[in-house]
Structure 1
Amino acid sequence: MGAEQIRRWESGALAHAVSDPFGQGPLPWLRGSENYFDDTGQVVPWYADPTLARGSTGGGTRTADDVHRQIKGFISTGAAAPGEAIDFHITVDPPQQFTVDIYRIGHYGGDGAAKITTSPRLSGIVQPAPLTADRTVSCHHWWQSWRLQIPAYWSIGAYVAVLTTVDGYRSHIPFTVRDDHPADLLLVLPDITWQAYNLYPEDGRTGASLYHAWDEQGRLLGEEDAAVTVSFDRPYAGAGLPLHVGHAYDFIRWAERYGYDIAYADTRDLHAGRIDVGRYRGLVFPGHDEYWSVPMRRTVEAARDGGTSLVFLSANSMYWQVSLSPSPSGVPDRLLTCRKRRGPGRPVLWREVDRAEQQLLGIQYAGRVPDPHPLVVRNAEHWLWDATGAGEGDEIDGLVAGEADRYFPRTALPEHDNRILLAHSPYRDGEGATRHQETSLYRAPSGALVFASGTFAWSPALDRPGHVDTRIQRATANLLDRICKRG
């Protein structure tokens, strides 16, 4: 293994860079402006305390990597409720003390997050090497490092644990705090899709996702050689945050700024039947949400048919059909399996099992968008575009990006009382051919609204520096206000 290859792996962004259309890697809120450098010239996340950012050595905090595993960790549960506990499993090399700072994502006067608590100083150990079997990587045998008892008074929401060693290395673990109280909107964080993309460890040897693995020379292999099953019992690659996690955080910061009444859950909560969808006026899927199990789809279709609206703010939703199974120790829903296109048997694309995603979304995945293109407004007289200033045929720069959906005329539509396409945007695909993106809205017979943006760039347009668009902010508010019966 050459030094150049190892340096690439140590960046913690190799696999993420393969498929991140915004080029933000695993830390989507890091921007290249002077506002995000501390006084030592180190780039730091926007939420970090200046003293923490510099680290005790004064040399600046550095991101841990998957080769040296300076500090990496995961939690052995999914979402948890106030009053419950979350167990952290963390490896530290060389062994030394570390702390865990817990932040909650939100608006917080523009800060984007607030520190909620800090652990005591904890003793770090070098955990055993990950176990691998048929490209499935698992750390379920790691010792417990810390138990966080969630106080009853904590707010539900999206949280990030920031792990920092005494010598200044940092990694992250995202988690969700949920409860069962009714709310206007339920935000569903796509933890199943996050895990599908997780290449941990990005070490040029053993890491594998549903997309990639390594050969003996440390070269990155494609889907035909990737894992069929991946485990939730392992850290996320690189800095410890999932690919596209920023899309959910963009929506959360914006929605909490404007005071929407939001509950939180993970897609595994949908899968396991832990959610009473009748408690909510709408379900919001804020980020890339590509991998769906049969119970997830059944629950969401029942929500729509019962009058609960659905809001899909990304593209390529509900594309692959997956199954979840217990860990070796019997903990439910810790292994994610998707065969992709390998071997005989039942197909695993929803559209190939005669249940195309368009039958729920109103549109479906069309392909990648190599370079951002404008979103072209259609049906500008519709209430979604009210007070946005958008006119018929107006172009919203850069809003068709990453991946795109469109209406497929030969594919069945869902039952609807009315249906409209609110954007029709040409773009060039990887071969230079002209294709088009569409944004869809329909009203189900139950009265539920189902909105699909058809692009990766919608959530970033709500609150990500360099991507904000006031027209998209207003249109999204028009949609959510109608779902929540505001105004």
Structure 2
Amino acid sequence: MRLFGSSKPGVSRRQAFKVFGTGAVAIAAYEVLDSEIRYPMRPAARTGDNPLVPENAQAGHDWRAKANGKKDVNDLKRQIQGWASTDSVSRGETIDFHVSTHASSPDCTISIYRVGHYGGTGSRLMTTSPTVQAKACEVPKFAKDFGTINCPWPKTWSLEIPKDWKSGIYIAAFDGADGHRGYHPFTVRELDRGSDILAIQPTTTYQAYNIWPMDKVTGKSFYKGYDDRGVLGSLEYRAIKVSYNRPYAQHGLPLLFELDAAFARWAEEHGHDVTYATSVDLHEGRIDPEKYSTMVYAGHDEYWSTEMRRHAEAAYAAGTHQAFLAANSMYWHVRVEDEGRTVTCYKEKDLKDPDGGENGPTIRWRKLQKKGKAAEQGFLGVQYNGILDYPMPMLVQNTDHWVWEGTGLKDGDALPNLVAGEADGFDPDMPRPKGVQQVLLSNSPYPDSLGRGTRIQNTSLCVNKRGTMMFVAGTYHWSLALAEEGYQDERVRRAMGNVVGRMLTQRES
């Protein structure tokens, strides 16, 4: 599915004030001395020797409709669609699927696929339900006060997750009697097992963008809704609260789901020890950072609760590396309610959040405190600064840094079409992480599609005094360059390998 090396860990006192980067954006490194670095203890990486290696040796099966002789569904006809009772589930627990079909026959089956490498196939068929009956369910009316769409559809099939299934990104494929196939993703977690990498799917952002159903009447997201003429795009018709209890629009996969899937395929292709969780798991505090060397946010991860940020910051402070592989991360502050099934965001232009509570109103993080003290750059090192109408090249810099080792790149070289969707950059007027050495690895001009002039995209790496790393790619296409057909770039794949390799280096003291 396509879209719309070798540096020393410390620096000398003189080097501490060296300016990294060129062009419109530059940043001075904080002083980090070799003698001051205290590395958290982490075991040796299990790359090539972990449960996912034999898992990916299994025969693969393509989950996509065309590969199975099926036809995609759409929101106007709603041939077959469904949603799951949870966004993540542990092995041994049960997940329910609520399916509606408007085919002439109620017969349907539900096939479960796991996303991975599988010899390049990209997924494996795990199980298929017996033939079950799905009722023809109507689209519920949205709640007048918040615009919430919550589907009270009956349970169609329940699956107890086998205890030998591996943690991963899974896709439920709903097959109707008329040959149509819809989807709904979920995550199987193994929070009791430590792994080298924990990959977190941004389900709060998935729901923020979900406009189901795109029927010219009902659908709503945090951005858009239909006006009385059936025109989509008017902010006054958007939702304030969105529910997980509904299908995703059209074929049933969230917007930009392919970013998360591409990282999973790349990581498992390279034999990495990965387990998976979701942003609701992060919000609920289910994640123990001591169990992981690295936490990776591969997808578009824009909507963050206070609890999510608090737990991510605690993980970084505990020595767990972090890698954000897209852009516009941690932009909107939200509340996660109803036991993780509702996300609330008032935003700030047209409505005022009446229930900010102790965590503050649901507005942009950079507006949550005076002088931008809660701005995302204070944690990430860079932050969202614009939108692109079309992909632009990433212009690399500081290519003597170990991130670019083995890529053959030189300062000023262009990685074509790598800056796309939205972009991050360093803003000297906003808070920056304290006590870190930061290097900007790209300096890429692009025209902002909202008419705000030329902006600069920066890929960033921050390292604190304990050697804990924060990597931010700052563009949507980084994840796609790892594994997506038509986007792959061996230089990005090598750079990602350098980053993950460093993050998984054993630390004994």
TM-score of the superposition, structure 2-length normalised? 0.83
Q: What SS class does the counterpart of residue 206 from structure 2 fall into?
A: helix
1:343 maps to 2:351:
yes
Conserved in 1, the CA contact under 8 Å of 2:2 and 2:484?
no
Question: What is the distance in 2 between the residues matched to 1:298 and 1:428?
Answer: 34
Rate the CA distance shift 1:142–1:124 in 2: closer, same or farther, 3 A.
same
1:47 maps to which residue? 63
Q: Where in structure 1 are there 5+ consecutive unaligned residues?
A: 1-19, 24-44, 55-60, 327-331
Question: What is the distance in 1 between the residues matched to 2:99 and 2:63?
Answer: 22
Conserved in 1, the CA contact under 8 Å of 2:62 and 2:124?
no
Rate the CA distance shift 1:209–1:475 in 2: closer, same or farther, 3 A.
same
- Of 117, 136, 146, which aligns to 2:127? 117
Deviation at 1:167, TM superposition (A): 1.2
Conserved in 2, the CA contact under 8 Å of 1:79 and 1:178?
yes
Q: Where in structure 2 are there 5+ consecutive unaligned residues?
A: 5-60, 354-360
1:74 maps to 2:83:
yes
Equivalences for residues 44-443 of structure 1 within 5 A: 46-48=62-64, 53-54=68-69, 61-94=70-103, 95-134=105-144, 136-180=147-191, 181-326=193-338, 332-341=339-348, 342-344=350-352, 346=361, 348-353=363-368, 354-430=373-449, 431=451, 433-443=453-463
2:496 maps to which residue? 476
Question: What is the distance in 2 between the residues matched to 1:368 and 1:144?
Answer: 40
Deviation at 1:140, TM superposition (A): 4.1
Deviation at 1:131, TM superposition (A): 3.7
Conserved in 2, the CA contact under 8 Å of 1:202 and 1:237?
yes
* 1:67 partner amino acid: L
Rate the CA distance shift 1:322–1:419 in 2: closer, same or farther, 3 A.
same
Conserved in 2, the CA contact under 8 Å of 1:309 and 1:450?
yes
Question: What is the distance in 2 between the residues matched to 1:21 and 1:322?
Answer: 28
Deviation at 1:222, TM superposition (A): 2.9
Conserved in 2, the CA contact under 8 Å of 1:377 and 1:422?
yes
Q: Deviations over 1:308-357 (max 9, x none)?
A: 0100000000000000111xxxxx11111100123345461000113000
Conserved in 2, the CA contact under 8 Å of 1:416 and 1:442?
no
Question: What is the distance in 1 between the residues matched to 2:113 and 2:444?
Answer: 38
* 1:349 partner amino acid: R
* 1:114 partner amino acid: R
* 2:147 partner amino acid: T
2:505 maps to which residue? 485
Q: What SS class does the counterpart of residue 391 from structure 1 fall into?
A: coil
Question: What is the distance in 1 between the residues matched to 2:427 and 2:65?
Answer: 49
Conserved in 1, the CA contact under 8 Å of 2:63 and 2:173?
no
Conserved in 2, the CA contact under 8 Å of 1:21 and 1:401?
no
Question: What is the distance in 2 between the residues matched to 1:325 and 1:432?
Answer: 35
Deviation at 1:286, TM superposition (A): 0.2
Question: What is the distance in 2 between the residues matched to 1:270 and 1:252?
Answer: 18
TM-score of the superposition, structure 1-length normalised? 0.86
Rate the CA distance shift 1:49–1:366 in 2: closer, same or farther, 3 A.
closer
Rate the CA distance shift 1:350–1:275 in 2: closer, same or farther, 3 A.
same
Question: What is the distance in 2 between the residues matched to 1:412 and 1:366?
Answer: 14
Deviation at 1:481, TM superposition (A): 0.6
* 2:344 partner amino acid: T
Greater RCO, 1 or 2 (C-alpha within 8 Å, sep 6+): 2
Conserved in 2, the CA contact under 8 Å of 1:314 and 1:452?
yes
1:22 maps to 2:3:
yes
Question: What is the distance in 2 between the residues matched to 1:439 and 1:432?
Answer: 20
Question: What is the distance in 1 between the residues matched to 2:138 and 2:2?
Answer: 35
Conserved in 2, the CA contact under 8 Å of 1:362 and 1:407?
yes
Conserved in 2, the CA contact under 8 Å of 1:186 and 1:280?
yes
* 2:459 partner amino acid: T
Question: What is the distance in 2 between the residues matched to 1:391 and 1:312?
Answer: 24
Rate the CA distance shift 1:22–1:65 in 2: closer, same or farther, 3 A.
closer
Question: What is the distance in 2 between the residues matched to 1:114 and 1:374?
Answer: 34
1:462 maps to 2:478:
no
Conserved in 2, the CA contact under 8 Å of 1:380 and 1:392?
yes
Conserved in 1, the CA contact under 8 Å of 2:344 and 2:362?
no
* 2:351 partner amino acid: G
Question: What is the distance in 1 between the residues matched to 2:213 and 2:175?
Answer: 19
Q: What SS class does the counterpart of residue 83 from structure 1 fall into?
A: coil
Conserved in 2, the CA contact under 8 Å of 1:440 and 1:453?
yes
Deviation at 1:210, TM superposition (A): 0.4
Conserved in 1, the CA contact under 8 Å of 2:86 and 2:186?
no
Conserved in 1, the CA contact under 8 Å of 2:212 and 2:219?
yes
Q: Percent identity?
A: 41
Deviation at 1:21, TM superposition (A): 9.6
Deviation at 1:306, TM superposition (A): 0.8
| Mean Cα deviation higher: 128-137 or 455-464 | 128-137
Question: What is the distance in 1 between the residues matched to 2:84 and 2:487?
Answer: 32
* Aligned positions, number: 435
Q: Deviations over 1:88-145 (max 9, x none)?
A: 0011113420111111000000101111111101112112432411253434421110
Deviation at 1:255, TM superposition (A): 0.7
Question: What is the distance in 1 between the residues matched to 2:401 and 2:506?
Answer: 18
How big is the alpha-carbon RMSD for the aligned residues of Structure 1 and Structure 2? 1.9
Structure 1 residue ranges (4+ consecutive) displaced by more than 4 angstroms after TM superposition: none
Deviation at 1:432, TM superposition (A): 7.9
Question: What is the distance in 1 between the residues matched to 2:101 and 2:388?
Answer: 39
Conserved in 2, the CA contact under 8 Å of 1:21 and 1:402?
no
Question: What is the distance in 1 between the residues matched to 2:281 and 2:435?
Answer: 28
